[in-house]
């Protein structure tokens, strides 16, 4: 590794060393409690898959370049040189962690391994050693934000092809647009994913609730966050912020995408609009009796997987259960406490990496499959695209024999049509 590159990488590393980050890197006592909380380690019990071991990869570089003892006597401080082999170690550590933060909730010191892994991912980005597909997808999202006027008309024409599906779930009033766009002063800007499955059910529920809403021209997912590139993360996030401010909306509703919700909710700073997940909005509609849903249309035992970025990292655990208990009398939780739900194993960009990570994703999420099987459920529900994809793969791999469903589509499928 050339010295100039090493200097650039260390400069990026130093930029992440806040007071809190220094505490995370200085404090670990190696008590081992975190190992009991990691789905990867509990499915594949190898030392390198413990949260502490992942963090130690970054910590050794920290000791070498930012601690006095490591600079003077590196062999005593377990310090490591930043070289090509260190980049390999950082890659293995960063992309064997889904960022679920389950370990943080059990660590006596509250060490946030996800934040430590953000250093690993940033170093890989600066070294141009990050996964190529994640970087490419982030670039595509950034480019779309820069050229939206060129593709806007094609997007609107594509929406027209979905209108019949929306009306099939909820018949709208004469003159009403099934999927509105560019509505100035809308109460809600809905940010969906690419695809009818993310747009049609949500549109039906918004229309049933007589919501003053509008659809965003941008997809919700933030590949910049997956790859750990702060600049791309901000550029992708700013597309939505700028659109919301331009339309002067009161609330931005994020679709079933955990990372998109966490990024906009926790990283956008103070804004004039409220940020909500679609799960929160649907629970609100039911509480306020803005929509009515048919109970027990879905047969058999139903269980729910909490997306880590929405639940453990976003605090939204009661609303999905409130919705499900209005949908069925046969809901059963996977664990006594929602925060004890295992991660699905697909976060942190792993699902987006596709077949390259399939074998690891399946084997490292065995405890999740076991947790699902223990419920004897016939339907497994979630509120995140990544989780849905990963759980569907697990369903096939472990022959769990469940139907994997999105929560939003369930609500849309049982809307009672004779509302006043």
pLDDT tens per residue, range 8-67: 999 999 999 999 999 999 999 889 899 999 999 999 999 999 999 999 999 999 999 998
Per-residue pLDDT, 1: 85
Q: Which of 70-84, 86-100, 255-269, 351-365 has the lowest mean pLDDT?
A: 70-84
| 397: in domain | yes
Q: Would residue 138 count as lying in a domain? A: no
Is residue 73 situated within a structural domain?
Answer: yes
The reply to whether the predicted model has a pTM over 0.85 is yes
Task: Tell me: do 39 and 92 sit in the same domain.
Answer: yes
Residues 269 and 152 in one domain: yes
My answer on whether 106 and 201 are in the same domain is: no
Q: Indicate which CATH number applies to the domain containing 120.
A: 1.10.1060
234-269 pLDDT, tens per residue? Answer: 999 999 999 999 999 999 999 999 999 999 999 988
Q: Are residues 55 and 183 in the same domain?
A: no
Residue 254 belongs to some domain of the structure:
yes
Nearby residues of 95 by Cβ (< 8 Å), 6 or more positions away: 131, 348, 349, 350, 353, 357
- Whether 292 maps to a domain, the answer reads no
Instruction: Using the 3D structure, point to which of 96, 130, 164 is the last residue of a domain.
Output: 130
pLDDT score for 413: 95
163, 299, 305, 369, 372 from 394: Cα distances, Å: 33, 22, 13, 7, 10
Residue 322: pLDDT band by 50, 70, 90 thresholds? very high
Q: Check whether residue 38 and residue 84 sit in a common domain.
A: yes
Which pLDDT value is given to residue 74? 65
Query: How many angstroms separate the Cα of 176 from the Cα of each of 129, 167, 190?
Result: 50, 11, 17
List CB contacts of 101: < 8 A, sequence separation 6 or more.
112, 113, 114, 308, 312, 313
Mark whether 47 and 85 lie in a shared domain. yes
Its domain, for residue 243, covers 148-219+236-287
Domain-embedded: residue 9: yes
Number of separate domains in the chain:
3
Q: Are residues 265 and 332 in the same domain?
A: no
> Has residue 139 been placed in a domain?
no
User: What digits encode the pLDDT tens for the residues 370-406?
Assistant: 999 999 999 999 999 999 999 999 999 999 999 999 9
Listed residues 99, 130, 161: the one ending a domain: 130
Q: Is residue 152 domain-shared with residue 273, that is, in the same domain?
A: yes
The reply to whether 113 falls in a domain is yes
Q: Which of 98, 130, 162 is the last residue of a domain?
A: 130
What is the residue-averaged pLDDT of the chain?
Answer: 93
Tell me: do 185 and 107 sit in the same domain.
Answer: no
Q: CA 56 to CA 202: how far, in whole Å?
A: 43
- Whether 104 and 174 map to the same domain: the answer is no
248 shares a domain with 197: yes
DSSP bridge partners of 293: 415
Query: What pLDDT was estimated at residue 174?
Result: 67
371 and 269 inside one domain: no
């Amino acid at each position: 590794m050339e010295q100039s590159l090493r200097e650039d990488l260390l400069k990026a590393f130093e930029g992440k060393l806040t007071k809190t980050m220094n505490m995370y890197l200085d404090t670990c006592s190696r008590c081992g409690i975190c190992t009991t909380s990691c789905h990867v380690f509990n499915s594949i019990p190898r030392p390198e898959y413990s949260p502490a071991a992942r963090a130690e990869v970054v910590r050794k570089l920290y000791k070498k370049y930012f601690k006095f003892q490591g600079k003077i006597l590196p062999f005593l401080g377990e310090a490591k040189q930043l070289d090509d082999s260190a980049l390999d170690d950082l890659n293995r550590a960063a992309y064997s962690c889904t960022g679920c933060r389950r370990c943080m909730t059990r660590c006596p010191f509250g060490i946030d391994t996800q934040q430590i892994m953000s250093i690993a991912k940033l170093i890989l980005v600066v070294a141009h050693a990050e996964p190529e597909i994640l970087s490419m997808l982030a670039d595509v999202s950034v480019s779309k934000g820069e050229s939206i006027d060129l593709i806007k008309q094609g997007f609107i024409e594509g929406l027209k092809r979905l209108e019949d599906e929306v009306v099939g779930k909820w018949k709208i009033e004469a003159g009403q647009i099934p999927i509105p766009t560019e509505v100035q002063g809308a109460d809600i800007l809905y940010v969906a994913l690419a695809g009818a499955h993310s747009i049609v059910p949500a549109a039906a529920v918004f229309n049933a609730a007589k919501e003053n809403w509008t659809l965003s021209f941008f997809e919700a997912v933030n590949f910049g966050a997956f790859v750990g590139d702060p600049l791309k993360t901000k550029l992708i996030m700013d597309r939505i912020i700028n659109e919301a401010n331009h339309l002067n909306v009161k609330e931005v509703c994020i679709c079933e995408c955990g990372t998109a919700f966490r990024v906009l909710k926790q990283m956008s700073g103070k804004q004039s609009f409220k940020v909500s997940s679609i799960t929160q909005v649907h629970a609100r509609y039911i509480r306020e009796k803005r929509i009515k849903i048919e109970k027990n249309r879905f047969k058999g035992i139903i269980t729910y997987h909490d997306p880590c970025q929405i639940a453990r990292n976003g605090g939204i655990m009661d609303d999905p259960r409130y919705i499900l208990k209005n949908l069925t009398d046969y809901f059963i939780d996977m664990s006594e406490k929602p925060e004890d739900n295992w991660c699905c194993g697909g976060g942190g960009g792993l699902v987006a990496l596709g077949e390259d990570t399939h074998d690891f994703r399946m084997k490292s999420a065995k405890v999740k499959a076991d947790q699902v099987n223990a419920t004897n459920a016939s339907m497994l529900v979630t509120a995140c695209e990544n989780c849905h994809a990963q759980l569907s793969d697990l369903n096939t791999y472990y022959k769990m024999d469940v139907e994997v469903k999105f929560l939003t589509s369930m609500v849309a499928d049982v809307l009672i049509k004779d509302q006043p």
